[in-house]
Chains A and B, each alone.
Chain A
Amino acid sequence: MINIYRWLIGTCLLLLAACNHNQPVKDSSLALMKTTNPSPIMTNQKKDSDGVEEIRKEVSSLPEIYDVAVVKGKQDTLVVYKVKHLHRFKMKKIEKQVNKMLEAKHPKENFTVSSDYKIFLESVRLNEHIKSSKFSQQKAENRFKEIVKMTEDLK
């Protein structure tokens, strides 16, 4: 009887694995488990994105950080990152450091910095929606504002 159960479970697993074979895997579906390094994006795609790329490079240069997502809205710029496991004890210190560095280098920008996984995931999802043209500029801006509001609730 136990053998029959084992065979059944094994067959189900094999079938499930086989069904998954040709499905394209989105970055957002694995964003919490692997490094995605999404390209920085702006809710208004007509503008030049060199500035946001520079922000991403600056934040990535910190040794404690390994995955950075940057989304620029009309007024705010959202910078989300993942912290290496052994440095997660110093999360607040790293957040202050990132904030200070960005404010010094880009005094005109208004930054929202977060290391929360949910914010990271939502940023990657927004990035994908903007790239696949699923979102209009206005819709992207609204979603961006919702994500920024989520970071305010964390404080």
Chain B
Amino acid sequence: MASKQKNMTPQQQNYQTLQQKHELKRPVLKNCIKAFFVGGLICMIGQAVSYFYIYFFNFTEQSVGNPTVATMVFFSMILTGFGVYDRLGQFAGAGSAVPVTGFGNAVISAAIEHRTEGFVLGVGGNMFKLAGSVILFGVFSAFVVALIKTLLVMWGVL
């Protein structure tokens, strides 16, 4: 940092001090609190959906995860289509992106963005532009964890 400043011209240094003076500070704590509560609210809705499936359908605690995730992703996709989830994302940041609903938002927002390029090359080709990395690393990390668990079970640790 110091060497960078040495290389700067006096004009550049003046500009930097001016920029630092006017730069808005990010309200990190406020953003964290917002993310915490909105993320928690989304998870609470997810818990209610899973209880709904346990009460009214034949899902056990172990198998209820699949329909719950599908429902939450579906709802977030619908809300993204109506433009509601984007507003929530602006307000809550990571609180709306980290839960599984963020995945649905990533898929649909990319599809909407590239709609003008056509259905095949636009929507089809770009739909998983953001969510693709989530799927790739999700599948890969699941594979690694399953491999470790299998080995631990084989060796009698678990």
Contacts and interface: CB of A to CB of B under 8 A. Distances in A.
Interface string B51-65: 100110011111010
Which of A117, A121, A154 has the most CB atoms of chain B within a 10 A radius of its CB? A117
B60 A116 contact: yes
Is the interface on chain A under 10, 10 to 19, 20 to 34, or 35 or more residues? under 10
A13 interface: no
A32 B50 CA distance: 11
A150 B62 CA distance: 11
Interface string B132-155: 000000000000000000000000
Contacts of B59: 118
A119 interface: yes
B62 A121 contact: no
Interface in A25-49: 32
Interface SS majority for chain B: loop
A50 interface: no
A154 B62 CA distance: 7
Interface in A136-155: 150, 153-154
B60 A119 contact: yes
Contacts of A153: 60
Interface string A93-128: 000000000000000000000001111010000000
Contacts of B60: 116-119, 150, 153-154
Contacts of A150: 58, 60
Nearest to B53: A118
Nearest to A119: B60
B62 A32 contact: no
A146 B55 CA distance: 16
Contacts of A118: 54, 58-61, 64
A121 B51 CA distance: 11
11 contacts: A32-B51, A32-B54, A116-B60, A116-B61, A117-B54, A118-B58, A118-B59, A118-B61, A118-B64, A121-B54, A121-B55
